Amino acid sequence: MMSRSSRVAAASLAALLLSLVAAMTPPGFGCVAGFAAPAPDRSAVRGLGPTGGSHATADTAIARFSWRAEAPQTLQLRVVPDAGELGDLVAVVVEGPQNVEFPPAATLLVDVDWLEPADAPTAQTLLTDALAALPAAVGPRAVSFWRVYRLGPWRAAWQDGTPGEVLHVHGRLADSGEYLPVRDPRQLAGLPRWLVWALACVALAAAWWIGRRRWRRRGSAAALDSLPLPPPAWLEAALALRELDRSSGDVRRDGRGELDRLASIARRYVQARFHLPAVEMTATELAAAAREAGWPAAQTDGFVRLLAACDRLRYAPPAITARHYRDCLAEALNCIDGVRIQPVWTPAPAQTLAAATAAWQELQQRYSGPLEDPRRAAC
């Protein structure tokens, strides 16, 4: 399973790569001028003949031209050549009467979006030959160049006038029965090429840095696995409890001192086992700290009750008897036994481990029997 930081890094890298793809993709990719061109009628296309014919069909589109500003009406509007392939250049020739002036050809407008303005051809082509073959103009003449991105027949008209001759646009596929509304490849729009390469280098550097960091983390985890573990906390507690039990005797005198030592041993064990500052806490503070740290109540509630009982008995007016001491010591053994961790591989010396095991077994044998005093539950 991937960690949360790894998932965030992978998502960031994927988002960066997607942004690079989006930046390199031109707007309107896969369509012409922002819209999908309609599929032509195959029956009409197949009926055009080898040269395309001159008759109009129901699919014949009309492109109406006009000036951007006020200008005299034109006498003639023609388009050359009358047939071509998808994306080819056509020339729109506007001729007017004598003694008038035309606006520049760049101000010519059209009401369709499948005709796009283009620059004049720089080499000798069929278009330049067709323009050279035109008869001399009587009046002014304006020539503008356009690229056609629509399959099928179409006609040009001046504003609301009668459309002219039928023009034809063929597909670029060898099989004329499968025309596709596509245009010639164009320069990709979007970010400059140098910026795209820079972002790609940044993405590769980020991927290398993430991979190197993950590799170093794995190496650190392997190194941590080889470190020795600290000895379990119950080893020290077992030795301390046996020393306390041997020095206390039968507790014929007031056992407040023994209970104080017992509470101190229990607090040190809780601090080492649960990593809580139990030595400096009361029972109430210890319960709150264990809940905040997320320790299960089943593991810590017994120690909280034991410490609360020790504190209450140590400051109680009546004298502490051997029964009180025995009950609290037995409760301490039960609490520790429920949460202690057996050493699997620790740096604990063998003598310490053997002595602690023997002490634990001795204490369990002495205090494993049932208690008759019901006050044990208070501990």
pLDDT in tens, 178-213: 555 566 665 555 667 788 788 888 888 888 888 888
Which ranges constitute the DSSP H helices of 62-148?
126-132
Report CA-CA distances (Å) from 247 to 237, 260, 261, 281.
15, 14, 11, 26
Mean pLDDT highest for which of 86-95, 100-109, 303-312? Answer: 303-312
Quote the pLDDT of residue 374: 42
Mean pLDDT across the stretch 326-348? 83
Q: What is the pTM of this model?
A: 0.39
pLDDT at 214 over 60: yes
Q: Residue 344 has what pLDDT? A: 66
pLDDT value for 159: 81
Rounded mean pLDDT, 115-144: 83
Contacting residues for 71 by C-beta, under 8 A, at least 6 apart: 102, 103
Specify the 3-state DSSP secondary structure of 1: coil
Higher pLDDT, 157 or 216: 157
User: How far from each other are the two terminal CA atoms of the chain, in whole angstroms?
Assistant: 45
Top-confidence range, 17-21, 181-185, 364-368: 364-368
Cβ-contact 267, 304 below 8 angstroms: no
Whether 43 shows a pLDDT value over 50: the answer reads no
What average pLDDT score do residues 82-94 get?
Answer: 87
- Comparing 35-49, 169-183, 353-367, which segment has the lowest mean pLDDT? 35-49
Q: How far apart are CA 354 and CA 356, in angstroms?
A: 5
**In this structure, which amino acid lies at residue 187?**
Q
